[in-house]
Every structure is written in structure tokens, then in C-alpha cells.
Amino acid sequence: MNQNPLGRRRGGLRIWVLIAFAAYAAYYWFSNRSVDPLTGQAVVIDKSISPEQEKALGLQAYQQVLEQERPLPPDAQASQQVASIAQRLIAKIPPVSDALASEHGLQASHIEKSFDWKVTVLQSDQVNAFCLPGGKMAVYTGLLPVAQNANAMAVVMGHEIAHALLRHGAQRMTRGKLEQLGQMAGAASGMDAGTMQTVMQAYGYGSALPYARSQETQADELGLMLAAAACFDPREAVPLWERMDKNAGGGAPPEFASTHPSAGTRIQQLEALMPKAMDYRAKFCESGATAAAGAGMR
């Protein structure tokens, strides 16, 4: 028989601490929940994180990148090619956003109206590109030989633009706050370091990583529709990811342990989206705008 009332009180207190943290986390989750009109899916974005704050953080990060990397001159051929692709994609954001939102019976928020768009090509072997909240974009020269043509580059850039339009950065910041709450709850309840590490690992594989992969899938779809509407050939997405996979040389982690879908999964999802993308191309692509779409990248 347990004759230690102090131990029982401590155990009860720990349970109440966990209940209190769980109640607050649930309140925080549901009070900041909304439906994204472009995906029709529920998202959680802290209402205290405004698009203007995101934009300021994006500009700060962009300036830091430019201080660390070597931008190509704006009149360089690669810079001009990438800028042209960006302009065509950006021009199609309003109609594509409206079309996607209407599919879900919603109205697009048109967050892009507040963006100050700028794209820079960075001299680096990285096979990468990004678009920060607020519209600051960069493409690394290491991506050019893998993309090979403007169609594939448009798919990549459309994907990166989609992350900014879908406010994925704000969603990750919000999720980070919830993760901090969970860690605080564990510490306050007396959870030891080993148990905490096990719990966080389980959370990562069971929730955090699948969540990150879902964001990538959302950006793939929106980006593909943008590229198609801008008169690029969305079918180039499949050979692009085949080249991406080959370029990785088998060095990518298994999908369950990654923030990104595997190349195989990605290709399957893109192939399933292709009929919709071709419909968007037929609907939004003006004749005569396709001449340079297949040009090689240098």
C-alpha cells in the first residue's frame, strides 16, 4: 500500500498540469483555425502573425542571403530568363487563385497584392530556389542544368511562389508555438529528458514530417497550375523530378523521415494532376505566349 501522500499529490499535480496545457493548446488551435481558399483545407495560422510581419521577416532573410551569396548581374542571360519566367507566373496568380478558390466555394484573399516581387539568380552549385513571404525570390545557378528548359524552371518557381501564397511560413511558425507548448508541458509535469526525446521523435515521424510533406504537395499543385496558366508545359514536371532524383544520387532520406515526398511519390501525384493542369493551360494561356516556353536554360 502506498503510504506516501506527498507522492500522490505530486502525481495528481502533474496530471492537472498536463490537462491545463492540453486545454490551452486546444483553445489556441481552434481559435486560430481557418480554411485556406486555395486548397480548401483547414489551416492554423496565429492571428498575431500578420502578412506584413511575414513580409518583413522575408525581406530580412532575403537581405541576409544576398550578403552571403553572389548574385548575378540583372543583365546576365540567366537573370533575364529567370525574370521573364517569374513575370509570367506572377501575372497568372490572380486568375488561378480565383479559379482554385471557386472550386472550394470560397473567395481568394489575394495576399499577393501586398507583395513586392523581386527575383535574383545566385551563383552557387546548389540545386535550389526559394520564394520568401512578400515575394522575394532567388534561383541558384546549380538548378539551371537540372531544369534544362524554361518549362521545368517554371514548375520549380511556381512551386516556390505557391509556398508564399499559401502562407506556409506562418503555418510553420504557428506549429512551432504549439510544439513549444508541448515541451513546456512535459517539463512542467516532471517528464525526464529521455522520455521527452522519445515523445518528440514520435511526434516528428507521426505528425511534423507528414505535415511538412503535405505542404510540399500543396505547393506542387498550385505551382503546377500557375505554370500551366502562364503557357508553360506542365508535362515537363515529370522528367524534371526524374532528373532531380538522378541528381540526388540516392542520397535522399526515406520518405517517412523526410520533409519532402520522395521523387516517386511526387511524380505520381503530378501525373494525377496533369489533366487539371492541361485544362488550366487551355483556359488561361493566351495564344502566342508559348514560343519561348521550351527554351534552354543557361
Residues forming the active site? 160
Helix (H) or strand (E) holding 33: strand 33-35
Contacts 24+ apart (CB under 8 A), 289-295: 289/88, 289/230, 289/231, 290/231, 290/232, 292/84, 292/150, 293/150, 293/151, 293/154, 293/231, 293/232, 293/233, 294/149, 294/150, 294/151, 294/233, 295/81, 295/149, 295/150
Helices within 32-75 (DSSP H only): 51-68
Q: Which three cell numbers stand for residue 255?
A: 520518405
Q: Is 109 exposed, middle or buried (0-12, 13-18, 19+ CB in 10 A)?
A: middle
Cβ count near 238 (within 10 Å): 17
Q: Which of 255, 252, 235 is nearest to 244 (CA)?
A: 252
Q: Spell out where 68-219 has E strands.
A: 118-122, 129-131, 136-140
Type of residue at 50? S
Question: 88 vs 82, 125, 134, 158, 284, CA distance in Å?
Answer: 10, 26, 17, 10, 12
What's the CA gap between 97 and 44, in Å, rounded?
Answer: 20
Q: Which three cell numbers stand for residue 52?
A: 506584413
Q: How far apart are the first and last CA of the chain?
A: 78
Cβ count near 124 (within 10 Å): 16
| Residue 161 and residue 137 in contact, taking contact as beta carbons nearer than 8 Å | yes
